[in-house]
Chain A
Amino acid sequence: MSTPLRQAQGPDLEGRIPDAATAGVARDEASGTVIDPVARDAGAPDGLPERRSSAARLFARGWRPSWTLVAAIAVIAIAVLWAVVPWLFTSYDPLDGVPADKLLPPSAAHWFGTDAIGRDLYARVVYGAIHSLSGALIAVTVGLTAGTLIGVLAGSVGGWIDDVLMRLVDVLLSIPGLLLMLSIIILLGFGTVNAAIAVGVVSVASFARLSRSEVVRVRRTDYVEAAFGSGGTFAAVLGRHVLPNSLTAVVGLAALQFGSAILAISTLGFLGYGAPPPTPEWGLLIAEGRNYVATAWWLTTLPGLVVLVVVLSANRISQSIGRGTR
Chain B
Amino acid sequence: MSVLDVQGLRVSYESRAGRRQVVHGVDVSVGEGEVVALVGESGSGKSTTAHALIGLLPEGGRVDGGSVAIGGVDITAWSQKRLRSVRGAQVGLVPQDPASSLDPVRPIGVQVGEILRLHGTRDAATRRARVLELLDRVGLDDPALRARQYPHELSGGMRQRVLIATAIALRPRLILADEPTSALDVTVQRRILDLIDDLRREEGTSVLLVTHDLGVAADRAQRIVVLNQGRIVEQGPSSGILSSPSDPYTRQLLADAPALATEGFRRPAPPLFLRDAAAAAGENPYAIAAVGLVKEFAVHGRGREAFRAVDDVSFQVRRGTTHALVGESGSGKTTTARLVTRFLQPDAGRIELAGSTGELADIAGLRGEALRRLRQRIQLVYQNPFSSLDPRQSVAQIVAEPLHNFREGSRAARAARAAELIDRVALPVDVLERSPRELSGGQRQRVAIARALAIRPDVVVLDEAVSALDVTVQARILELLESLQHELGLTYLFISHDLAVVRRISHSVSVMRRGRVVEAGSTEDIFTAPTHDYTRELLAAVPGRSEVAA
**Residues in chain A within 8 A of chain B (CB atoms):** 1-2, 16-17, 21-22, 24-25, 27-46, 48-52, 61, 63, 221-233, 236, 240-241, 244-245
Q: Which 10 A-B pairs have the closest CB atoms?
A: A33-B441, A230-B402, A231-B405, A32-B440, A222-B388, A231-B375, A28-B442, A222-B387, A41-B48, A37-B47
Assess the B13–A41 pair: CB atoms within 8 A.
yes
Question: With a CB–CB cut-off of 8 A, which chain A residues contact B406?
Answer: 231
Q: Is the CB of A229 within 8 A of B341?
A: yes
What residues on A are CB-neighbors of B402 within 8 Å? 230-231
Residues of chain A contacted by B115 (CB below 8 angstroms): none
Q: How many residues of B contact A (CB 8 A)?
A: 73
Chain A residue contacts of B472, Cβ below 8 A? 24, 27-28, 31
Interchain nearest-CB distance for B156 vs A (Å)? 15
Residue B437 interfacial (CB < 8 Å): yes
- For A28, give the chain B residue with the smallest CB separation: B442
- Chain B nearest CB from A104 CB (Å) reads 53
**Contact of A40 with B43 in the complex, beta carbons under 8 Å:** yes
CB-nearest residue of chain B to A35? B468
Partner pick for B19 among A1, A39, A63, CB 8 A cutoff: A1
> What chain B residues lie within 8 Å of A244 (beta carbons)?
392
- A33 with B468: CB separation less than 8 A: yes
Q: Complex Cα distance A228/B212, Å?
A: 35
Given the complex, which residues of A lie within 8 Å of B455, measured CB to CB? 230-231
* Nearest CB of chain A from residue B377's CB, rounded to whole Å: 10
- Find B42's partner among A22, A37, A63 (CB 8 Å cutoff): A37
Roughly how many angstroms separate A226 CA and B398 CA in the complex, as a whole number?
10
- Please indicate the chain B residues that have their CB under 8 angstroms from the CB of A50 in the complex: 438
Distance between A223 CB and nearest chain B CB, rounded to angstroms: 4
Given contacts A31-B42, A31-B472, A240-B393, 14 further A-B contacts (CB under 8 A): A24-B475, A28-B443, A31-B440, A32-B441, A33-B470, A37-B47, A41-B48, A46-B43, A46-B229, A49-B439, A224-B390, A226-B380, A226-B451, A233-B405
Given that A42-B13, A230-B402 are contacting pairs, would A16 and B440 also be in contact in the complex, using a CB cutoff of 8 Å? no
Cβ contacts under 8 Å, A37 to chain B: 42-43, 46-48, 96, 179, 212
**A2 with B372, Cβ < 8 A, contacts A29-B442, A226-B388, A230-B405 known:** no
Residues of the B chain whose Cβ atoms lie less than 8 Å from the Cβ of A227? 390, 401
In contact, A17 and B473 (Cβ under 8 angstroms): no
B88 interface residue per 8 A CB criterion: no
Cβ–Cβ contact B437 & A49, under 8 A: yes
Q: What sequence of 0s and 1s flags, for each residue 433-471 of chain B, a beta carbon within 8 Å of any chain A beta carbon? A: 011011111110000100110110000000000001110
Tell me what chain B mostly uses at the interface: helix, strand, loop, or mixed.
loop
Q: List 24 A-B contacts (CB under 8 A).
A: A1-B18, A1-B21, A22-B426, A28-B443, A28-B472, A29-B440, A30-B440, A31-B470, A31-B473, A33-B42, A33-B440, A34-B441, A35-B468, A37-B212, A39-B58, A40-B42, A41-B22, A222-B384, A226-B382, A229-B341, A229-B343, A230-B401, A230-B452, A241-B392
Q: Is the CB–CB distance between A33 and B442 below 8 Å?
A: yes
Report the minimum CB–CB distance from B535 to chain A (whole Å): 29
> Would you call B438 and A38 a contact (CB within 8 A)?
no
| Complex Cα spacing A43 to B60, Å | 9
> How distant is B96 from chain A, measured CB to nearest CB, in Å?
8
Q: Which residue of B lies closest to A220 (CB)?
A: B387
* B61 interfacial by beta-carbon distance below 8 Å: yes
A45's partner among B15, B46, B372, B434 (CB-CB below 8 A) is B15
Contact string against A for B residues 3-44, beta-carbon threshold 8 Å, 1 for contact and 0 otherwise: 000000000010111111110000000000000000001110
- Give the Cβ gap from A197 to chain B, nearest Cβ, in Å: 33
Residues of B close to A24: CB separation below 8 A: 472, 475-476
- A244 to B435 Cα, complex, angstroms: 14
Say yes or no: A231 contacts B372, CB within 8 Å. Answer: yes
Q: How far is the CA of A157 from the CA of B341 in the complex (A)?
A: 22
Choice from B15, B373, B428, B438 contacting A49 with Cβ under 8 Å = B438
Q: Are B17 and A44 in contact (CB under 8 A)?
A: no
